[in-house]
Amino acid sequence: MVALSIGEKYFIQGGIAQDLRGDGRKRLTPRPIYVETGVISQSNGSARVRMGATEVIASVKAELGRPSALHPDKGKVSIYVDCSPTAAPTFEGRGGEELSTELSVALQRCLLGGKSGSGAGIDLSSLAIVEGKICWDLYIEGLVVSSDGNLLDALGAAIKAALSNTGIPRVNVAAGASGDEQPEVDVSDEEFLQFDTSKVPVIVTLTKVGRHYIVDATSEEESQMSSAVSISVNRRGNICGLTKRGGAGLDSSVILDMISVAQSISEQLINTLDSQIAAAEAGEDES
Amino acid sequence: MAGQAGGTPSTYSPSPTTRKTKSLILRNDDVDWVRTDGREFHQCRPAFFKTGAVNAAAGSAYAEFGNTKVIVSVFGPRESKKAMMYSDIGRLNCNVSYTTFATSVRGQGSDHKEFSSMLHKALEGAIILESFPKTTVDVFALVLESGGSDLPVVISCASLALADAGIMMYDLVASVSVSCLGKNLVIDPVLEEESYQDGSLMLTCMPSRYEVTQLTITGEWSTPKINEGMQICLDACAKLATIMRECLKGPDSALEE
Amino acid sequence: MGLPDSSGGFLSELDVDAFRRLFPLQFYESHLVKSKRPDGRSLAKARETSSALGAVASADGSALVKIGSTTMLAAIKMEVMTPSKESPDEGCIAIEFYMPPICSPIVRPGRPADTAPVVSKQLSDTILSSGMINLKELSLISGKAAWMAYLDIYCLDADGALFDAALLSAVAAFSHLQIPVVSMNDEGKVVVVSEENEGGKEPVNKEKRKLTLCSIPFSLTCILYKNYILADPTAEEESIMETLVTVVLDSSGQLVSLYKPGGPVLAYTSAIQDCVALTRQRVRELQTILDEATAGMEVD
């Protein structure tokens, strides 16, 4: 919780009303975003994303598993977020648990699509190896290192970057296995397949303070919010998931307005993120 | 607590694991398919509400939508936990749990951890928390049987239980979800439809203020489709709220086709 | 108003509800001397009892039982297990009693009620020792497969006499139980025979759809307070007068079990005999209620 005096609160609210926020940004200007990939060498892919004082790390680990009976031709993805006690004193002990669950559920909703698997940002069919027998299980983990608001957007960006950085080993299936037997596989440690992340959406959270809403709120600004809507948008401009946070009600026309604003912002965000990821990948290759 | 000495042996449900393929239930983009229970796409299941289901609670309600059956009890306002800090507004504490026999396979209802916090968010905006400072209102829900659209039913039922307990609210909260199946939007989906859905939209609102307190969307949606989905839900919420209001007014419970 | 000069004067000025909360014992005593209870019952009278079978569609057997406002929902789910080596042709019953937070203000999520495991254990002991169910009837294929009956009882509203209501709901759920018709598939797993693929495998338990229940146990909980015996107590009565005696008799009147878990009142043999006599009357009542419920089911 951010403790603010009445004057500070008034300053934040007044600034937002006049389209000039405390750090000089306009209402719909996000903070600059910095991406660094390959930060965890043990994982198959990882990325660190910084937006102002918010810093998150995402890592992707691929393991061989068995597909579920319901979707034999698809792999499985699990997303889990941990809020480190180093990020904020309230995360100590079990304090971060509720926020962790909330962020995990929101990310799953935004990235994994409907129950039938359609509309998923991550193409689950590409994770299948032998139908009904073997598939890749992706374990995506997010870690909040430092928290200054807008965690969900940062985590979404970090996961997109980590997936771009992910190389999944090529698997050769030994021929001849039939029936109930589990086929033998040979996991290559030299050949890697690049993961297609063009369909992975970005998340834009619009935080409503007073009568206006802002993007990329800092935690001070978040403490003044009445409600927030997190919208994930893919490159085609379609909505891939939406979560409302905060208690106060919203008029439905305001929500539709927020969706269209999120769509236009997401376009810039995807482009910035893509160029940042490309630069980070290039930087990593050189070093 | 098995009847025999030694540990409980591992058991399995004899129900067939092979499920009907999707095409059997709905012929994909065919516009003319019929829903498993014969409803039209934009027709809700008959809703049944009853307040005062649990005498031990300050307020309670029972709701039944087809096979989905839930009970919600409200306790309080009562003393907050000792560890809680002073607060000049009331606290709301929500919990949603499932019975072991709620799902077709025993004990599968436990993977709904997020429902408690989603119920909290859906109700928070409607309750006048200033009316019970320093204290806590507990809202506990038990899903007796899960038949699809569980969370929306829990939310609507909880707001009725709060009203029954005499907790001050701006308005009743009604909640409805739609599933996107192929090109079609079906309202108030049953379990089977939910497990094959391409996307879903759940909307919770205060009907007389036309205010949305909770909205979640999964799957890929175009803007016109979101518009359509939200409109369907808002209309259904308004209808649902009249049934809920009837239930609060009269001693006999309301029933709607 | 001024200070009351004697306690009698003070008490007479009190509102009835306030008196009931402030001096519960005196309040009850003033009723007991008139052989009446605050809810209008006589001391030996149990509350109105009802039972409805088949309340849960997703279970193989279920029942909803109400005693006064105490409500229990019991459901049985049948699963398949491999029987143990010691008893290859016997099935198994697992009984669990739950008190979810909706049922009472004293239960909170993450902090279960103390009484739930106690009632759970008492139920298992009573049902398994009464010999109501022949575990051999739960066998499917000797040594290979047998039924595991999971009986889960949820208390939906707790207002005293939890064990009595739970036991009645358990018995009612067993009498409603319809065992699914199953057959053995090629992989040695037991699967339900559905109507569509009737022609496939021969079902292994065509005749054994219902369990034969012999000597059904019924119970009555009584409060002992001074010389009074109060049958079927409410939650309020249980909290004020703490000595409880629960007698379980089977349908032929034989004693199955008797619990008197401590309490400040020490019972004379005669008091216990009175409790047993009250239970004997109650068993007849409960038997009729159960028979009516099953008869109603068959008409449907």
CA distances C118 to C98, C121, C124, Å, are 11, 5, 10
A70 vs B: CB within 8 A: yes
Residue A76 confidence (pLDDT): 83
DSSP A200: -
Q: Which of A116-125, B138-147, C92-101, C173-182 has the lowest mean pLDDT?
A: A116-125
Confidence band for B58, pLDDT divided at 50, 70 and 90: very high
Residues 91-130 of A with CB under 8 A from B: 98, 101-102, 105, 109, 112-116, 118-119
Q: Kindly identify which residue of chain B lies nearest to residue A68, measuring between CA atoms.
A: B17
Shortest distance, CA A23 to any CA of chain B (angstroms): 30
C157 vs B: CB within 8 A: yes
Q: Would you call C102 and B12 a contact, using CB atoms and an 8 Å cutoff?
A: no
Of A115, A240, A249, the CB nearest to B125: A249
Residues of B in contact with A239 (CB under 8 A): 217, 220-223, 226
Per residue in A136-195, pLDDT (tens digit) is: 888 999 999 988 889 999 999 999 999 888 888 888 777 655 555 666 777 777 777 777
Of B4, B14, B144, the CB nearest to C191: B14
Of A69, A102, A259, the CB nearest to B223: A259
Residue B92: count other Cβ atoms within 10 Å of its Cβ: 21
- Give exposure, C240-276, as e/b (b: 16+ Cβ within 10 Å): ebebbbbbbbbbeeeebeebbeeeebebeeebbebbb
The amino acid that residue C6 corresponds to is S
Query: In degrees, to the nearest 5, what angle opens at C-alpha B131 toward C-alphas B129 and B133?
Result: 75
Mean pLDDT of C71-75: 95
DSSP A80: E
The amino acid that residue A50 corresponds to is R
Residue A2 confidence (pLDDT): 63
CA distance A153 to A280: 19
A6-286 falls under which CATH superfamily? GHMP Kinase, N-terminal domain (3.30.230.70)
Residues of C in contact with B144 (CB under 8 A): 56, 73, 154
Q: Which of A196-200, B163-167, B238-242, B245-249 has the lowest mean pLDDT?
A: A196-200
Shortest distance, CA B113 to any CA of chain A (angstroms): 8
Provide the token pair at A267: 């376009």
Residue B81 confidence (pLDDT): 77
Residues of A in contact with B211 (CB under 8 A): 249-251
Confidence band for B181, pLDDT divided at 50, 70 and 90: confident
From C242, C229, C227, select the one nearest C277 (Cα to Cα).
C229
DSSP A63: E
Residues 15-54 of C with CB under 8 A from B: none
CA distance B202 to A114: 13
* Mutation to test the B interface, candidates C73, C82, C102, most B Cβ within 10 Å: C102
DSSP B28: T
Q: Which value does ipTM take for this structure?
A: 0.84
Strands of the B59-65 sheet, one edge to the other: B47-51, B59-65, B68-79, B135-145, B91-98
Residue in the structure block whose two tokens are 């010691």: C86
Q: Kindly identify which residue of chain B lies nearest to residue C78, measuring between CA atoms.
A: B13
Specify which residues C111 forms β-bridges with: C108
Ranges assigned E (strand) in A147-226? 167-173, 185-194, 202-209, 212-215
CA distances A166 to A38, A118, B166, C209, Å, are 9, 22, 55, 56
Q: Is C261 helix (H, G, I), strand (E, B) or coil?
A: coil
Instruction: Label the pairing between strands A76-83 and A134-146.
Output: parallel
Residue in the structure block whose two tokens are 């693929």: C197
From C19, A133, A70, B227, select the one nearest B217 (Cα to Cα).
B227
Length of chain B: 257
From A50, A44, A48, A43, select the one nearest A58 (Cα to Cα).
A48
CA distance B101 to C79: 12
State yes or no: pLDDT of C282 exceeds 70.
yes
Q: Would you call C159 and B55 a contact, using CB atoms and an 8 Å cutoff?
A: yes
- Where residue C115 falls (left for φ over 0; alpha for ψ -120 to 50; beta otherwise) is alpha
A285 vs B: CB within 8 A: no
CA distance A199 to A192: 20
- Chain C: touching chains (3 or more CB pairs < 8 Å): B
Instruction: Label the pairing between strands A134-146 and A54-65.
Output: antiparallel
Provide the token pair at B211: 């205010």
Residue C221: count other Cβ atoms within 10 Å of its Cβ: 26
A257 vs B: CB within 8 A: no
CA distance A160 to A60: 10
Residue B39 confidence (pLDDT): 84
CA distance B242 to C29: 48
From A180, A97, A173, select the one nearest A132 (Cα to Cα).
A180
Residue C18 confidence (pLDDT): 86
Q: Would you call A113 and B198 a contact, using CB atoms and an 8 Å cutoff?
A: yes
Per residue in A181-239, pLDDT (tens digit) is: 666 777 777 777 777 788 888 999 999 988 888 999 998 888 888 888 999 988 888 88
Shortest distance, CA B86 to any CA of chain A (angstroms): 14
* Mutation to test the B interface, candidates A208, A252, A266, A267, most B Cβ within 10 Å: A252
Instruction: List CB contacts of B143: < 8 A, sequence separation 6 or more.
Output: B68, B69, B70, B96, B97, B98, B99, B102, B109, B150, B154
Residues of A in contact with B221 (CB under 8 A): 119, 238-240
Q: Kindly identify which residue of chain B lies nearest to residue A258, measuring between CA atoms.
A: B223
Residues 233-292 of C with CB under 8 A from B: 235
Q: Is A30 helix (H, G, I), strand (E, B) or coil?
A: coil
Contact C209, C181 (CB under 8 A): yes
What is the DSSP annotation of B107-149?
A: T-TT--THHHHHHHHHHHTTB-GGGSTTEEEEEEEEEEE--S-
Q: Kindly indicate whether the domain formed by C40-299 is annotated with CATH number 3.30.230.70.
A: yes
Q: Would you call C73 and B8 a contact, using CB atoms and an 8 Å cutoff?
A: no
Residues of C in contact with B9 (CB under 8 A): 81-84, 92, 148
Q: Is A109 helix (H, G, I), strand (E, B) or coil?
A: helix
Burial, A3: exposed, middle or buried (Cβ in 10 Å; 0-12, 13-18, 19+)? exposed
Residue in the structure block whose two tokens are 């962790």: A100
Specify which residues A78 forms β-bridges with: A139
Domain edges within chain C? 40-299
CATH number of B39-82+89-249: 3.30.230.70
- What percent of chain A shows pLDDT beyond 70? 92
State yes or no: pLDDT of B235 exceeds 60.
yes
Q: Would you call C120 and B1 a contact, using CB atoms and an 8 Å cutoff?
A: yes
Shortest distance, CA C157 to any CA of chain B (angstroms): 5
Q: Would you call A102 and B126 a contact, using CB atoms and an 8 Å cutoff?
A: no
CA distance C285 to C293: 13
CA dihedral A274, A278, A284, A285 (to 10 degrees): 150
From A212, A202, A260, A206, select the one nearest A235 (Cα to Cα).
A202
C182 vs B: CB within 8 A: yes
Q: Would you call B219 and A234 a contact, using CB atoms and an 8 Å cutoff?
A: no
Residue in the structure block whose two tokens are 């680990």: A61
Residues of A in contact with B212 (CB under 8 A): 244, 249-252, 255
CA distances C249 to A105, B54, C118, C221, C252, Å, are 52, 30, 19, 12, 8
Of C94, C109, C121, the CB nearest to B140: C109
Mean pLDDT of C238-255: 89
- What percent of chain B shows pLDDT beyond 70? 83
Residues 82-121 of C with CB under 8 A from B: 82-84, 86-87, 90, 92-96, 98, 100-105, 108-109, 120-121
From A26, A8, A57, select the one nearest A215 (Cα to Cα).
A26
Residues of A in contact with B139 (CB under 8 A): none
Shortest distance, CA B55 to any CA of chain A (angstroms): 30
Residue C208 confidence (pLDDT): 64
Residue A141 confidence (pLDDT): 92
Mean pLDDT of C110-130: 89
Helix axes A97-111, A151-164, angle to 10 degrees: 50
Q: Is C252 helix (H, G, I), strand (E, B) or coil?
A: coil
Shortest distance, CA B209 to any CA of chain A (angstroms): 8
* Mutation to test the B interface, candidates A116, A235, A243, A251, most B Cβ within 10 Å: A116
Of A255, A259, A260, the CB nearest to B212: A255
Cβ-based contacts under 8 A for chains A and B:
115
Per residue in B185-225, pLDDT (tens digit) is: 899 998 888 888 888 899 999 988 888 998 998 888 888 89
Contact B60, B54 (CB under 8 A): yes
Provide the token pair at A166: 């992910």
Provide the token pair at B154: 């829990």
Per residue in C142-183, pLDDT (tens digit) is: 888 888 999 999 999 999 899 999 999 999 999 999 888 888
HEC string of C187-234 equals: CCCEEECCCCCCCCCCCCCCCCCCCCCCCCEEEEEEEEECCEEEECCC
Contact C57, C178 (CB under 8 A): no
- Chain A: touching chains (3 or more CB pairs < 8 Å): B
Of B11, B53, B97, the CB nearest to C81: B11
Residue A146: count other Cβ atoms within 10 Å of its Cβ: 14
